């Protein structure tokens, strides 16, 4: 029977619609398994961390950077600009009292560079009458007691290089001119204290002028009678305002220029630390009238 065109179409459609089953070869199966395994590993590597974990890590880094930055700024300010000091003794009464806390300008005289003997350039040089913070010359007697032999002190600058200083009967002379005692503390015991001597005065016997227009130096220096002494180059002569209650250049000599650390600015806190009868005097016996007092 001859086939018509429609018959041919139906046959072909039926032939094409027969189900065909493909059996994968062993090689194809292993390739597919390997691909799936590699895809799984890649997905696990690219899988992002939880948002909360990323946020915590970022926050911790930012906090650490802030702390390090703040610490660096604090150290720069403390080392090169301003530092706080506490007054532990009465050697500068009435200018400074025991229990005064003050800020010190370290830049004005040239801030000391830590771990070196050098300093930054100074904005000003120490002048007569300035209250100065400095590192004491070596004190052998303090070392023998087990104390710090080079403590940081605050005194008034009396003599600069080239000045001649001496004292007679409790009156201080600078280059032959009597100086006003407008801040030195005085009491009834000062008369006996003025005749006091010390083995620590013996350095003056070698340094004092034997002959000068100011008269000879006393054979034995005392608190009220010593000198004349000429201040050497790049050194200063320091004394406390409370002349009979101050261990100063009369005892340990001239202060080298490189020992100067700064100039006190003002008192930012003060309390009665030496004779208060109140409990917790740093809270209950505050000297509010001294807070903000500029030091001169």
CA Rg value for the chain:
42
**91 is annotated as an active-site residue:** yes
Q: Which residues, other chains included, contact 53 with Cβ-Cβ below 8 Å and sequence gap of 6+?
A: none
Order of strands, sheet of 255-256, starting from the edge strand that comes earlier in the sequence:
82-86, 100-105, 260-270, 131-135, 152-159, 235-239, 255-256
* Secondary structure (3-state) at 170: coil
* Secondary structure (3-state) at 290: helix
- From the list 31, 44, 65, 91, the catalytic residue is 91
Q: Are 271 and 286 in contact (CB under 8 A)?
A: yes
**52 is annotated as an active-site residue:** no
State the distance between the two ends of the chain, measured CA to CA, in whole angstroms: 135
Q: Phi-psi region for residue 184, left (φ > 0), alpha (ψ -120 to 50) or beta?
A: beta
In the numeric block, which tokens belong to residue 205? Answer: 């016997």
Rounded to whole angstroms, the Cα distance separating 217 from 229 reads 9
- From the list 106, 155, 247, 263, the catalytic residue is 155
Rounded to whole angstroms, the Cα distance separating 260 from 234 reads 11
Q: What is the set of active-site residues? A: 91, 155
């Amino acid at each position: 029977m001859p086939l018509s065109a429609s018959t041919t179409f139906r046959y072909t459609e039926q032939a094409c619609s027969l189900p065909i089953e493909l059996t994968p070869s062993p090689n194809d199966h292993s390739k597919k398994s390997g691909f799936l395994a590699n895809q799984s590993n890649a997905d696990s590597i690219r899988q992002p961390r939880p948002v909360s974990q990323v946020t915590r890590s970022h926050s911790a880094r930012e906090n650490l950077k802030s702390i390090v930055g703040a610490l660096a700024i604090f150290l720069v300010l403390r080392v090169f600009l301003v530092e706080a000091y506490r007054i532990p003794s009465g050697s500068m009464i009435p200018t400074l009292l025991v229990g005064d806390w003050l800020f010190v300008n370290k830049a004005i005289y040239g801030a000391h560079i830590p771990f070196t003997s050098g300093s930054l350039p100074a904005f000003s040089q120490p002048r007569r009458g300035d209250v100065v913070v400095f590192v004491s010359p070596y004190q052998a007697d303090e070392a023998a007691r087990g104390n710090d032999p080079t403590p940081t002190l605050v005194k008034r600058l009396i003599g600069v290089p080239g000045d001649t200083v001496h004292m007679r009967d409790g009156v201080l002379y600078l280059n032959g001119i009597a100086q006003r005692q407008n801040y030195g503390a005085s009491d009834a015991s000062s008369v006996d204290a003025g005749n006091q001597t010390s083995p620590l005065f013996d350095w003056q016997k070698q340094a004092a002028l034997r002959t000068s227009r100011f008269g000879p130096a006393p054979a034995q220096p005392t608190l009220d009678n010593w000198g004349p002494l000429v201040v050497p180059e790049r050194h200063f002569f320091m004394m406390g305002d409370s002349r009979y209650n101050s261990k100063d250049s009369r005892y340990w000599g001239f202060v080298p220029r490189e020992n100067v650390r700064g100039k006190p600015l003002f008192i930012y806190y003060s309390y009665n630390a030496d004779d208060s009868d109140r409990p917790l005097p740093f809270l209950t016996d505050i000297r509010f009238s001294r807070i903000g007092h500029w030091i001169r």
